Amino acid sequence: MIRHVSAMCGRYSETVDPMQLAEVLAIDLCTYEFTPRPVIAPTQAAPVIVRENGQTELKPMRWGLIPHWSEDERIGSKLINARSETAAQKPAFREAWRQRRCLIPADGFYEWNHLNHGSGKKQPFHFHLSDRALFCFAGLWERWKRPPANQAELFADTFKAPPPVLETFTILTTSPNADVEPFHDRMPVIVDIDKAAEWFSESSVKLRPVNLPLEVNEAQLS
């Protein structure tokens, strides 16, 4: 099997209702309607847990972070992941690192690997906990307002709806544990649910991912 070194994580699963975390994470508000999602892909909406204005909220956001200063939302498809070791210094992520951290509920993630040397075929693999329990990735989020198409739009009819606002997120990655290392040189950062409050705290400058034992199975994705 060939070790894969492309972007990661590019697909994940969320088939368990994230409101199971309501008590342990003290979720105050939920605006997300749960539907089992065996595969969540970039640019799709997914449940995200944020802490804002003194409340912890579970809400849908689009996967692929769009920096608030960007003029082109297409950049989001390139910012689905952020390296946890350098995100605090990168222009696209550093403000979110300080002010807009989040948790992304999941029960597994996918990675692909070549079946054999010289083959163009890849086999997807699904990584999950042995009991298929819910966990959370560490992430960052942004609120992006689409800029006016032209100057005239700035003075549009006051009854006209304002430019749409998109809330987007990225998943932080780290070095792989022993289970993922044969497949990829990165893996998503998994946060200890019992210590999630530390990740939301701006004073937490160092991210300590949980090294959970993962099981891996071949997956069939359409």
Kindly give the pairing relationship between strand 12-14 and strand 108-114. Answer: antiparallel
State the pLDDT at residue 43.
95
| One-letter identity of residue 101 | R
For 85-102, how does the pLDDT look when each residue is reduced to its tens digit (9 = 90+)? 999 999 999 999 999 999
Residues of the chain with pLDDT under 70: 1-8, 114-120, 149-163, 202-209, 222
Rounded-to-integer distance, Cα 26 and Cα 44, Å: 26
* pLDDT, position 69: 94
Residue 136 bears catalytic tag: no
pLDDT of residue 24: 84
**Residue 104: per-residue pLDDT:** 96
Question: In the prediction, which pLDDT does 196 show?
Answer: 80
Q: Which domains does the chain have, with CATH numbers?
A: 12-218 (3.90.1680.10)
Choose, from 14, 111, 142, 167, the residue flagged as catalytic. 111
Answer yes or no: 9 catalytic: yes
d(CA 187, CA 169): 17
Could you give the CA distance from residue 175 to residue 177 in angstroms, rounded to a whole number?
7
How far apart are the C-alpha atoms of 171 and 87, rounded to whole Å?
11
CA-to-CA distance for 8 and 80, rounded, in angstroms? 8
| Residue whose pair of structure tokens reads 């960007």 in the numeric block | 70
> pTM of this prediction?
0.87
